Amino acid sequence: MSRIVLNSELLNKVFDGREITKDDSYLLYQEAENNSFEMYKASQILRNKNKGKTVTYSRKVFFNLINLCRDTCSYCTYKAEPGDTKVSMMSKQDVADLAAIGKNYKCTEALFVTGERPEQKYQEARKWLKESGFGSTAEYLVHASEIALGVGLFPHTNAGNLTKSEMNQLKKTNVSLGTMLENSSERLGEKGMPHEFAPSKNPKARIHALENAGELSIPMTTGLLIGIGESPFELIDSIFTIKSIHKKYGHIQEVILQNFQPKTNTMMQDFPGPEERYFKTLVALTRLIMPEMNIQIPPNLSPDSYSGFLQTGINDWGGISPVTPDYVNPEFVWPLIDTVEKNCKKSGFELRARFPVYPEFFHMVNSDLRSKMLEIADSDGLVGKEYLK
């Protein structure tokens, strides 16, 4: 890799292949507050070195299996209460019907999302599960994943803090799982903070879940929520927490960096979202801290400037659905895949569809699921272009 002239010795440290420390990262962030150009340039070079000029996305169907939730986060509109018109409790037939539609649209990912253990709080959830033949949401997720897999979709489940036993069951049908760390600071769970009434968001619980997945060798997607009242230094600490877990187990396949967006009818509706420069600086810094990681931002949450994040070192857009909305952020529609492709091309990148698991983590997926993916994969482990025609 050719060296560029940099003002910061710390950036040169990264180019020499040495890891930067947490204190280094604090200093880099402070430098970038005055001039972020060098950091952005460095993040681009590292992305190009480790990921080339390909940017990926996952063509998905979003299964909003059940959106009752035992937690209450101050910024969330996903959660429903019994009686709300937006309550979702999908039947087995609903799952099968949506899976068939997704297959028809050439989707490869079945994203299953639920509230956090709704049966522990709501009688309605317990009744729904019992009538469906299940004792827990996790049991139903296993069955729903089998339905999706049966029509040719590859499941990825994000259902909060699953137990080790539950993850082990889901591993049979899911090529990857997801649990957002959001932040490693326990301060965000204190009185008046966004996670005060969301015990599952306690960092220790989230870290434990990620570590359990590591012990089971399950490819995991995790990430941070930026702009909910944290300090930049708490975010840096959180990036290093993820790095430490990955260093131990080698199973973190992707880090999502998601910018908070205020929503009406929430406790944080008047709380401003993060400034774009602040967000971009943290994205670029994540690339410097974890040079080889797959780093994603959701394009629908930065609709006016998402292509600009290619300049901060990302290499993935996450799941984009041609079928279903983003039920977690319904106010923000997905960009058309053709539009994303054109913007990537203008910036000098090729957009490619991937599976819910990245090629470099295929070895962690059980042989049956891996064989099914390889039937439509190309030599790079991405979704074959012929399949998408």
| Amino acid symbol at 12 | N
Architecture of the 18-388 domain: Alpha-Beta Barrel (3.20)
Contacts (Cβ under 8 Å, ≥6 apart) of 311: 40, 44, 280
Q: Which residue in 182, 189, 146, 141 sits closest to 163, CA to CA?
A: 141
Give dist(CA 112, CA 353) in Å, integer.
19
Task: Spell out the domain ranges in the chain.
Answer: 18-388
Q: Which residue in 237, 229, 283 sits closest to 260, CA to CA?
A: 229
Do residues 243 and 289 make contact, with C-beta atoms less than 8 angstroms apart?
A: yes
- Residue 249 phi, psi dihedral angles, 5° rounding: -115, -20
> Residue 356 burial by CB count (10 A; 0-12/13-18/19+): exposed, middle or buried?
buried
Token pair 């956090």 is found at 116
Do residues 32 and 86 make contact, with C-beta atoms less than 8 angstroms apart?
A: no
DSSP label of 16 = T
pLDDT tens for the 389 residues of the chain, in order: 344 444 467 878 888 888 999 999 999 999 888 888 889 999 999 999 999 999 999 999 999 999 999 999 999 999 999 999 999 999 999 999 999 999 999 999 999 999 999 999 999 999 999 999 999 999 999 999 999 999 999 999 999 999 999 999 999 999 999 999 999 999 999 999 999 999 999 999 999 999 999 999 999 999 999 999 999 999 999 999 999 999 999 999 999 999 999 999 999 999 999 999 999 999 999 999 999 999 999 999 999 999 999 999 999 999 999 999 999 999 999 999 999 999 999 999 999 999 999 999 999 999 999 999 999 999 999 999 999 98
Query: Which of left, alpha, beta for 242 (phi over 0: left; psi -120 to 50: alpha)?
Result: alpha
Do residues 317 and 350 make contact, with C-beta atoms less than 8 angstroms apart?
A: no
DSSP 3-state of 258: strand
Give dist(CA 278, CA 339) in Å, integer.
26
The pTM score is: 0.96
Give dist(CA 227, CA 271) in Å, integer.
9
Do residues 87 and 137 make contact, with C-beta atoms less than 8 angstroms apart?
A: no
